[in-house]
Amino acid sequence: MILTKRDVRLFWWVNGWGAVTVEQVAAWMGGVGFSTAARRIRKLCEAGFLRRIQVAGLREPAIALTDYGQEVARDPLPPLPGVRLATWHHDKTMCSMEARILRRFPESVVIPERRLRTNRLMAGAPPKHLPDAEAHRAGVRPIAFELELTPKAPGRIQEILTAYATSRDYASVIYLVPDQRMKRYVQRFAADHDDLIKVHIVNMPSSVGGHGGAING
């Protein structure tokens, strides 16, 4: 089959998030129909560039890059070896948040945590906690995004927030939470750093590929 430049960009995008859904691919393609995205994915899977990961408990397979797809795309990030059901809801929700971030910060480039980690390893930087995604804009420090669906232990979240507050890595840190209860929980630990750390309630996607709603502030 003939690969297009969009296919190669798709490989990098899929691999950055690890695994995605057909609905998310359709949204990434510019809002094409489900059937259009599914046909292209099927062809790319048949050619060995992408693969479907079947996991018990998932209503549909996740789509991930293959080793062959990584080689063709010349992507230094290894493909995701498998999907963990325990983290899939968080990961697919964060991927769906990308479109909202780009609407709020239209001049930015969103980099997922998987790619951030690989970039740091390649640069020889020491390991540290990384956000779920960063929005990079020309000439300014990036914005960090954390998706908090379930509360971390108090000591752990305090450690993360203190590290953000004492570093000069980010222009701001935006916590995305599903409800008022989670917002109050995060704000307990961010109270002394509210000039840097913002907590926003967002409507979680109603489906795997949902991209509605907005991020304000």
Q: For residues 50 and 94, give the distance between their C-alpha atoms in angstroms, rounded to a whole number.
A: 21
Tokens for 112, please give them: 């997922």
Tokens for 97, please give them: 């948040």
pLDDT of residue 146 exceeding 90, the answer is yes
What does the pLDDT average to over 9-15? 98
Say if residues 156 and 141 touch (Cβ distance below 8 Å): no
Going from the N-terminus, what domains does the chain have, and what CATH number goes with each? 5-83 (1.10.10.10), 87-201 (no CATH)
Q: For residues 92 and 17, give the distance between their C-alpha atoms in angstroms, rounded to a whole number.
A: 8
pLDDT of residue 209 exceeding 70, the answer is no
DSSP 98-114: HHHHHHHSTT-EEEEHH
pLDDT of residue 208 exceeding 50, the answer is no
Please give the pLDDT value at position 207.
45
| Tokens 């914005």 found at | 143
Give the pLDDT band (50/70/90) at residue 57.
confident
Please give the pLDDT value at position 214.
54
What does the pLDDT average to over 126-146? 95
What does the pLDDT average to over 27-51? 95
Whether this model's pTM surpasses 0.75: yes
Q: For residues 115 and 111, give the distance between their C-alpha atoms in angstroms, rounded to a whole number.
A: 7
* CA proximity to 148, closest of 157, 140, 135: 157
Note the pLDDT tens digit of each residue in 90-109.
999 999 999 999 999 999 99
Q: What length is written for the chain?
A: 217
What does the pLDDT average to over 189-210? 80
What does the pLDDT average to over 81-91? 91
pLDDT of residue 199 exceeding 70, the answer is yes
Please give the pLDDT value at position 3.
95
Note the pLDDT tens digit of each residue in 150-171.
999 999 999 999 999 998 899 9
SS (H, E, C) 68-101: HHHHHHCCCCCCCCCCCHHHHHHHHHHHHHHHHH
DSSP 114-170: HHHHHHHHHHTPPP----SEEEE-TTS--EEEEE-SSPPPHHHHHHHHHHHHH--S-
Say if residues 10 and 24 touch (Cβ distance below 8 Å): no
